[in-house]
């Protein structure tokens, strides 16, 4: 098979690399990809990830068997729909089904209608009404922009003043894009508990568990500092075992995808459920219409069976025979440019970005370019290094030993990835 992955980050590097490991796969193309992928035999293609027409033309010209879309932006712009219309199989949701991610209001409506546990919420387009609701409910309270906001659309407000300034930004200044061009916010009850990410392969009303992980969204150790795209992850998550996975599949994933079928927008692809274990049980914090980054870089290493074959099987209406590694843990740490997430430094030398072949270490590129033999910083999150070991402590030791031995000026990373699982 010849496959095409859309995207350019660490997540897409991991997806493309794992697909390439399948004996049934002869070539993996990635658009645009990043220069670190070449070392893993992935062919990068210079196409815009939102240009459905160009992606269709490339897929036709290169006899691509199926396409996997990594990030959410192409889904919002209908890249899956363009491929479907051209008769090219794609394992990613349509623009209508991806609304589960890019419209918080749509996701809330589905969850309310189909009885999926989530925080109590209300939706507003009018600033004064939203402000009155915040004053009535009090803080802490959570304000979410209804639209694509590049990870910046959620404000967990600890005071009413902070909540109102978020409303001004989202409803008055209208900083976010959505489909109908109407600024809208979801105001949500503040929940407390430990978060985790649960992935499923979905095809219509059928879902298969596709991995569990825990991300670390704050920039600095001890969950301090600004929210980021994610600074590190590990899989599996010892504190959330098979019972929690089974419960989440039953009370969250299954009713949601059955609801989408009933609404006439069936889901196909990877569904990301961002969940919180509260004192009242599992609640949905958010849905994403794709795999997570950096969770994917560790989750895909947990498959014992053939990831590419699973997707082929699902696309062909067959039951995937998924097998997981039963021993050990994979943990990954993101190395970011100084200044990330506000304003990341760029243009500096990252060296060769290599890890020893005789170790469990893996390296996935993200915000990088190449000049000669050297990789150069060109983004916020630059790369991720992972290790697989018997337990979290040993995986941490391996990753941190590598990062300590290979220091890179102008970069930083969290030193505590996996701390919740250490106990």
| Binding-site ranges for ligand GLY (CB under 6 A) | 215, 229-230, 288, 292-293, 295
The answer to whether the CB of 2 falls within 8 A of the CB of 59 is no
Can you point out the beta strands (E) in 101-256?
121-124, 141-145, 154-157, 185-189, 194-203, 206-215, 218-220, 224-227, 232-235
Beta-carbon-side half-sphere exposure of residue 337 (alpha carbons within 13 Å): 23
Q: Which does 156 bind (CB under 5 to 8 A by kind): ligand AMP, ligand GLY, none?
A: ligand AMP
Q: Which does 295 bind (CB under 5 to 8 A by kind): ligand AMP, ligand GLY, none?
A: ligand GLY
Say how far apart CA 2 and CA 28 lie, in whole Å: 6
Strands 43-45 and 27-32, bridge-based pairing: parallel
CB of 153 to ligand AMP, least distance (A): 6
Residue with tokens 């697909």: 19
Q: Is 219 in the site for ligand AMP (CB under 6 A)?
A: no
CB of 283 to ligand AMP, least distance (A): 8
User: 53: buried, middle or exposed (CB in 10 Å: 19+, 13-18, 0-12)?
Assistant: exposed
- Mask 246-285, x = binds ligand AMP (CB under 6 A)? ----------------------------x----------x
CB of 82 to ligand AMP, least distance (A): 27
Q: Which does 190 bind (CB under 5 to 8 A by kind): ligand GLY, ligand AMP, none?
A: ligand AMP
Among the listed residues 154, 311, 335, 368, the single contact to ligand AMP using CB under 6 A: 154
Q: Which of 353, 352, 373 is nearest to 364 (CA)?
A: 353
CB of 396 to ligand GLY, least distance (A): 19
Say how far apart CA 46 and CA 365 lie, in whole Å: 17
Nearer Cβ to ligand AMP (189/205): 189
The answer to whether the CB of 111 falls within 8 A of the CB of 284 is yes
Nearer Cβ to ligand AMP (147/266): 147
Q: Which does 195 bind (CB under 5 to 8 A by kind): ligand AMP, ligand GLY, none?
A: ligand AMP
Selected range binding ligand AMP among 162-170, 174-182, 189-197, 233-241, rule: CB under 6 A: 189-197
Q: Is 286 in the site for ligand AMP (CB under 6 A)?
A: yes
Q: Is 89 in the site for ligand AMP (CB under 6 A)?
A: no
Q: Which does 65 bind (CB under 5 to 8 A by kind): ligand GLY, ligand AMP, none?
A: none
**Which are the contacts of 25, defined by CB distance < 8 A and separation ≥ 6?**
1, 2, 3, 19, 308
Residue with tokens 């009850």: 189
Q: Which of 174, 179, 35, 163 is nearest to 99 (CA)?
A: 179
Q: Give the binding-site size for ligand AMP (rule: CB under 6 A).
A: 14
Helix (H, G, I), strand (E, B) or coil at 25: coil
What tokens appear for 348 in the block?
């500096």
Selected range binding ligand AMP among 4-12, 170-178, 190-198, 377-385, rule: CB under 6 A: 190-198
Say how far apart CA 422 and CA 396 lie, in whole Å: 10
Q: Kindly state the DSSP code that residue 36 receives in the 8-state scheme.
A: G
CB of 53 to ligand GLY, least distance (A): 27
CB of 144 to ligand AMP, least distance (A): 6
Among the listed residues 30, 134, 191, 344, the single contact to ligand AMP using CB under 6 A: 191
Say how far apart CA 276 and CA 244 lie, in whole Å: 11
Q: Kindly state the DSSP code that residue 327 receives in the 8-state scheme.
A: S
Start-to-end Cα distance in the chain: 44
Nearer Cβ to ligand GLY (81/295): 295
CB of 297 to ligand GLY, least distance (A): 10
Say how far apart CA 140 and CA 188 lie, in whole Å: 10
Among the listed residues 2, 38, 206, 217, the single contact to ligand AMP using CB under 6 A: 217
Nearer Cβ to ligand AMP (171/376): 171
Q: Residues in the site for ligand AMP, rule: CB under 6 A? A: 119, 142, 154, 156, 188-191, 195, 217, 227, 274, 285-286
């Amino acid at each position: 098979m010849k496959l095409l992955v859309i995207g350019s980050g660490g997540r897409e590097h991991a997806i493309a690399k794992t697909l390439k490991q399948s004996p049934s796969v002869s070539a993996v193309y990635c658009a645009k990809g990043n220069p670190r992928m070449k070392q893993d035999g992935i062919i990068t293609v210079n196409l815009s990830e939102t240009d459905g027409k160009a992606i269709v033309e490339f897929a036709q010209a290169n006899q691509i068997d199926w396409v996997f879309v990594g990030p959410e932006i192409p889904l919002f712009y209908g890249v899956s729909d363009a491929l479907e219309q051209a008769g090219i199989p794609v394992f990613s949701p349509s623009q209508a089904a991806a609304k589960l991610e890019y419209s918080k209001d749509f996701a809330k409506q589905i969850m309310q209608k189909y009885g999926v546990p989530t925080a109590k919420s209300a939706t507003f387009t009018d600033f004064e009404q939203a402000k009155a609701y915040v004053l009535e409910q009090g803080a802490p309270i959570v304000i979410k922009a209804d639209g694509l906001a590049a990870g910046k659309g959620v404000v967990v407000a600890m005071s009413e003043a902070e909540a109102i300034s978020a409303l001004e930004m989202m409803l008055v200044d209208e900083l976010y894009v959505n489909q109908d061009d109407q600024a809208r916010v979801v105001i949500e009850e503040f929940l407390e508990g430990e978060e985790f990410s649960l992935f499923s392969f979905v095809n219509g009303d059928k879902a298969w568990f596709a991995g569990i992980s825990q991300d670390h969204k704050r920039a600095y150790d001890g969950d301090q500092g600004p929210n980021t795209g994610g600074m590190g992850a590990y899989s599996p998550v010892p504190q959330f075992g098979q019972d929690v996975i089974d419960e989440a599949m039953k009370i969250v994933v299954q009713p949601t995808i059955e609801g989408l079928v009933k609404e006439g927008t069936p889901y196909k692809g990877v569904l990301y459920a961002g969940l919180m274990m509260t004192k009242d049980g599992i609640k949905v914090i958010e849905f994403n219409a794709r795999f997570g980054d950096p969770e994917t870089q560790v989750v895909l290493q947990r498959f014992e069976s053939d990831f590419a074959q699973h997707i082929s099987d699902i696309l062909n209406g067959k039951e995937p025979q998924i097998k997981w590694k039963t021993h050990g843990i994979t943990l990954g740490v993101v190395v970011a440019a100084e200044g990330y997430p506000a304003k990341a430094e760029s243009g500096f030398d990252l060296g060769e970005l290599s890890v020893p072949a005789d170790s469990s270490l893996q390296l996935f590129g993200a915000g990088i370019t190449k000049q000669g033999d050297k990789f150069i910083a060109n983004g916020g999150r630059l790369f991720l290094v992972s290790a697989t070991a018997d337990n979290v402590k040993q995986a941490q030791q391996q990753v941190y030993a590598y990062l300590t031995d290979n220091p890179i000026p102008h970069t930083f990373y969290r030193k505590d990835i996996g701390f919740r699982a250490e106990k």
